Amino acid sequence: MYDWHEIGALDDIPRLGSRVVHTPHGNVAVFRAADDQVFALRDRCPHKGGPLSQGIVHGHRITCPLHNWVLELESGQAVAPDEGCATRYPVRLDNGRLWLGLNNVVSLSTATLATA
């Protein structure tokens, strides 16, 4: 079961872009693909901790800006030959508004999308 928190509008994130949501458990990168699908991963590459929100979105993948690791946005899994996984968060779209699902979070009442 998730606690759902409204984090902004779909239009706040450019296609093939990202924004960061600051949570009590760290930053979450929210990505928008060219087809308007939205994904959320912990904003930390499993390789060297690079900020995924500053990477390049292509298809349903993100390339880390530090060492070019590629991760699947749907699962957070690194693409072979690399190994590792970024934490994935559920995100849903309802009437143009984005909602982020988090476990055991006290409050995100002030959470908003930040420019990546």
The structural domains of the chain, ordered by start, are 3-115 (2.102.10.10)
DSSP character for 79? P
- Tokens representing 51? 């900020």
pTM of the full structure: 0.88
Inter-residue contact 38 to 54 (CB < 8 Å): no
How many angstroms separate the CA atoms of 75 and 86, rounded? 8
Q: Are 75 and 88 in contact (CB under 8 A)?
A: yes
Sheet strands (E) in 64-111: 70-72, 88-89, 91-94, 97-102
- In tens digits, the chain (116 residues) has pLDDT values of 889 999 999 999 999 999 999 998 799 999 999 999 999 999 999 999 999 999 999 999 999 999 999 999 999 999 999 999 999 999 999 999 999 999 865 455 445 455 54
- Identify whether the C-beta of residue 101 lies closer than 8 Å to the C-beta of residue 4: yes
CA distance 62 to 116: 14
Alpha carbons 109 and 60: distance in angstroms, whole number: 29
- Residues 30/43, Cβ–Cβ less than 8 Å: no
84-115 pLDDT, tens digit per residue, is 999 999 999 999 999 999 986 545 544 545 55
